[in-house]
């Protein structure tokens, strides 16, 4: 069987008919209640946040939503969050910490929005604050990358005890096209850049960046739900100081 190239994985992650976060929420969680706004500026529709049931476990769900058609993609800003999106996520994660609810995040973004308004409202600070706070939460955190995982825009909700990727998802500090433009001044070398970046689930599992590759089978949602339930229950059994220690060691070991 021919090996699927890294850039083919990128193209698969970007397919317009690929399932978005809303479909994952609908098929994995029950009783989902969406909560809105960051109580500072506005409600960012690129980020979905709320509470739900995962089997018999009450959880907080944070997700980046690209939209399923042109109108929805434009309304969701193609999943590229503004600072208020990350602050909305953090607001809900703090509530999860307060009420001892595990956190599940669903990552799918080409990156944080880089417009002037986002920079004026503190895009970098919002992402950095999320990373700082997530490193100290004493509730289990599991992140699932379902499509694109672009740079700080992705990791802003993905600092977790366990990070999983669908087999056709990608996770990178920069897009292959951006990398090729910087290194070779030629975006047409994106396929070569993709191989160098090691952005596929298979590569990142070997590097220890992620813990699990999720197969995209017909039973994807059922399998993912079952695995999430088992993993979260196991993480809940750990003493809080051990959970934090393991999370710290996980990220210190990535080189």
Q: For residue 254, what pLDDT is reported? A: 85
CA of 106: how far to CAs of 73, 149, 218, in Å? 17, 10, 19
Q: In 92-126, which positions are buried (b, 16+ CB within 10 angstroms) versus exposed (e)?
A: bbeebbeeebbbbbbbbbbbbbeeeebeebbbeeb
Q: For residue 255, what pLDDT is reported? A: 64
> What is the spatial distance between Cα 80 and Cα 112, in angstroms, rounded to a whole number?
5
Q: For residue 3, what pLDDT is reported? A: 77
Specify whether the CB–CB gap between 116 and 75 falls below 8 A: no
> What is the spatial distance between Cα 3 and Cα 16, in angstroms, rounded to a whole number?
23
Mean pLDDT in order along the chain per 10 residues (255 residues): 84 92 96 94 95 97 95 93 96 97 97 93 95 96 96 93 96 92 91 93 94 95 97 97 96 85
E strand residue ranges, 2-140: 30-34, 47-54, 57-64, 103-109
Tell me the three state secondary structure of residue 70.
Answer: helix
Least Cα distance to 14 among 204, 141, 133, 146 occurs for 146
- What number of helices (H) and strands (E) belong to the chain? 12, 8
Find residue 58's DSSP bridge partners.
53
Least Cα distance to 112 among 130, 134, 132, 97 occurs for 130
Dihedral sign for Cα atoms in the order 194, 198, 203, 205 = negative
Least Cα distance to 46 among 131, 153, 126, 125 occurs for 153
Supply angle C-alpha 158, 149, 147, rounded to 5: 115
Q: For residue 222, what pLDDT is reported? A: 96
CATH number of this structure's domain 6-252, picked from the four choices 3.30.450.20, 3.90.226.10, 3.30.70.260, 1.10.357.10: 3.90.226.10
Give the relative orientation of helices 83-98 and 123-134 as an angle to the nearest 10 degrees: 20
> What is the spatial distance between Cα 185 and Cα 179, in angstroms, rounded to a whole number?
9
> What is the spatial distance between Cα 30 and Cα 8, in angstroms, rounded to a whole number?
33
* Domain boundaries of the chain, sorted by first residue: 6-252
Specify whether the CB–CB gap between 145 and 158 falls below 8 A: yes
> What is the spatial distance between Cα 4 and Cα 201, in angstroms, rounded to a whole number?
12
């Amino acid at each position: 069987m021919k090996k699927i190239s890294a850039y083919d994985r990128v193209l698969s992650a970007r397919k317009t008919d690929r399932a978005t976060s809303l479909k994952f929420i609908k098929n994995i969680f029950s009783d989902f209640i969406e909560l809105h706004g960051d109580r500072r500026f506005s409600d960012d529709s690129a980020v979905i946040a709320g509470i739900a049931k995962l089997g018999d476990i009450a959880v907080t769900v944070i997700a980046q939503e690209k939209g399923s058609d042109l109108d929805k993609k434009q309304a969701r800003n193609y999943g590229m969050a503004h600072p208020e999106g990350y602050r909305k996520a953090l607001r809900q994660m703090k509530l999860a910490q307060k009420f001892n609810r595990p956190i599940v995040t669903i990552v799918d973004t080409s990156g944080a929005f880089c417009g002037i308004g986002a920079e004026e409202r503190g895009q970098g600070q919002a992402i950095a604050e999320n990373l700082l706070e997530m490193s100290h939460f004493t509730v289990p955190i599991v992140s699932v990358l379902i499509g694109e995982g672009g740079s700080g825009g992705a990791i802003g909700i993905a600092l977790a005890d366990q990070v999983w990727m669908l087999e056709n998802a990608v996770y990178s500090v920069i897009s292959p096209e951006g990398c090729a433009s910087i290194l070779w001044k030629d975006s047409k070398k994106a396929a070569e850049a993709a191989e160098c970046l090691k952005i596929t689930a298979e590569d990142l599992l070997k590097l220890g960046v992620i813990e699990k590759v999720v197969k995209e089978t017909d039973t994807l949602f059922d399998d993912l739900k079952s695995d999430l339930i088992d993993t979260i229950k196991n993480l809940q059994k750990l003493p809080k100081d051990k959970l934090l220690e393991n999370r710290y060691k996980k990220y210190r070991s990535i080189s």
